[in-house]
């Protein structure tokens, strides 16, 4: 008897959580995770913001999930799982193939070879730069940094080949420690103007270019990628969520208070509705279901007659 009772309790507990509504919510959570990860992967920080707006707008505005507390829990789950999945996705991408040829600012076809190494080795960096002013003298530098900020340095790039349109520069660097490296390119330009004065300025690549990856397996970079993606998700998705949800709550409460205030002096006839039970009716002021023996609406406080 005791065993049978415990079995029934467990069965009822499973039925409670494995009902149709629960499974439907789990399915939507998986959809939201997919939407967020794809938008974040495709558009980076802007995608995180767009994904945050979608995972609020779809359940609240389209699916009519009115419980903000439940919506907040769901969003937290979506953001945490998305950070973990994005770490796997981005880490896998790093190891899958070398990046596309980098072009940034005045520098085109910037490459590094080899792209991936299991151990520290010698890496060859090359880039092309358009020849503008024929009288100008260029000095090109490479600035390399590890993504964890533990090491960075600069070196001079040498001319490998030149024609009337482009000049190819190269640099050989060894003894890079394990990790993912990024680099920028900078050119020092000196030329004489038509009035005889010497002009001096610097030009640089737009942002970081992806350098070599030195690691024996995918798990070396996974914690860093997860931490970086979690920070971006918090900054571009978490903060907007913490602003939007309180605003929704504020305006919803303001609307509810206005309805209550307007309904305080109203007297409403108890109209039956075919969708209600025999001892129930619908409040025509706010749509709440009330009982036959109620004198006023429990939601908007309108008086009944």
Which residues are CB-contacts of 198 (< 8 A; sequence separation ≥ 6)?
190, 191, 192
Which residues are CB-contacts of 73 (< 8 A; sequence separation ≥ 6)?
none
What phi and psi, each to the nearest 5 degrees, are found at residue 130? -70, 140
167 and 129 Cβ atoms separated by less than 8 Å: yes
Question: Token match 């509810």: residue?
Answer: 256
The pLDDT of residue 170 is 92
Domains of the chain: 2-96+226-256 (no CATH), 102-217 (2.60.40.10), 264-304 (no CATH)
Per-residue pLDDT of the chain (305 residues), as tens digits, is: 444 444 555 455 555 555 677 788 788 888 888 888 888 877 877 888 888 888 888 888 787 777 888 888 888 899 889 888 887 777 776 666 555 556 666 788 888 888 777 777 888 999 888 876 667 788 899 988 887 677 788 889 998 888 878 889 999 988 777 777 888 888 888 877 777 777 778 888 877 777 777 766 555 667 777 887 888 888 888 888 889 888 888 888 887 777 666 665 566 666 655 555 566 777 777 777 787 777 788 777 777 77
Cα separation of 8 and 13, whole Å? Answer: 8
85 token code pair: 């999945």
The pLDDT of residue 5 is 45
Cis check: omega of the bond before 125, within 30 degrees of 0: no
How much is the pTM? Answer: 0.54
120 token code pair: 């520290």
Cα separation of 168 and 110, whole Å? Answer: 10
Cα separation of 4 and 127, whole Å? Answer: 75
The pLDDT of residue 113 is 84
**One-letter-per-residue 3-state SS of the chain:** CHHHHHHHHHHHHHHHHCCHHHHHHHHHHHHHHHHHHHHHHHHHHHHHHHHHHHHHHHHHHHCCCCCHHHHHHHHHHHHHHHHHHHHHHHHHHHHHCCCCCEEECCEEEEEEECCEECCCCCEEEEEEEECCCCCCEEEEEEEEEECCCCCEEEEEEEEEEECCCEEEEEEEECCCCCEEEEEEEEEEEEEECCCCCEEEEEEECCCCEEEEEECCCHHHCHHHHHHHHHHHHHHHHHHHHHHHHHHHHHHHHHHHHHHHHHHCCCEECCCCCCCCCCCEEECCCCCCEEECCCCECCCCCCEEC
Burial class of residue 167 in the structure, from the number of CB atoms within 10 Å of its CB (0-12 exposed, 13-18 middle, 19+ buried): middle
């Amino acid at each position: 008897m005791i065993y049978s009772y415990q079995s029934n309790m467990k069965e009822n507990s499973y039925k409670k959580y494995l009902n149709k509504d629960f499974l439907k919510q789990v399915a939507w959570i998986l959809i939201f995770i997919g939407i967020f990860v794809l938008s974040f992967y495709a558009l980076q920080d802007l995608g995180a913001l767009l994904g945050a707006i979608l995972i609020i707008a779809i359940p609240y505005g389209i699916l009519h999930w009115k419980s903000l507390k439940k919506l907040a829990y769901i969003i937290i789950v979506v953001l945490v799982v998305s950070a973990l999945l994005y770490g796997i996705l981005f880490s896998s991408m790093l190891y899958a193939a070398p990046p596309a040829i980098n072009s940034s600012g005045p520098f085109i076809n910037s490459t590094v070879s080899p792209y991936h190494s299991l151990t520290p080795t010698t890496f060859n960096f090359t880039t092309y730069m358009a020849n503008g002013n024929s009288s100008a003298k260029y000095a090109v530098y490479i600035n390399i940094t590890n993504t964890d900020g533990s090491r960075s340095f600069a070196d001079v790039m040498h001319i490998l080949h030149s024609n009337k349109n482009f000049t190819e520069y190269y640099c050989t660097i060894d003894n890079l420690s394990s990790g993912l490296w990024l680099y920028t390119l900078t050119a020092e330009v000196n030329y004489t103007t038509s009035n005889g004065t010497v002009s001096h300025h610097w030009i640089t690549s737009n942002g970081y270019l992806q350098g070599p990856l030195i690691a024996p397996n995918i798990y070396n970079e996974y914690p860093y990628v997860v931490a970086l993606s979690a920070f971006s998700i918090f900054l571009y998705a978490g903060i907007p969520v913490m602003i939007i949800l309180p605003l929704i709550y504020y305006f919803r409460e303001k609307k509810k208070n206005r309805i209550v205030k307007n309904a305080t002096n109203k007297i409403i006839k108890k109209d039956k509705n075919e969708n209600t039970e025999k001892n129930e009716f619908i409040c025509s002021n706010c749509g709440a279901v009330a009982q036959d023996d109620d004198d006023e609406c429990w939601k908007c406080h309108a008086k009944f007659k």
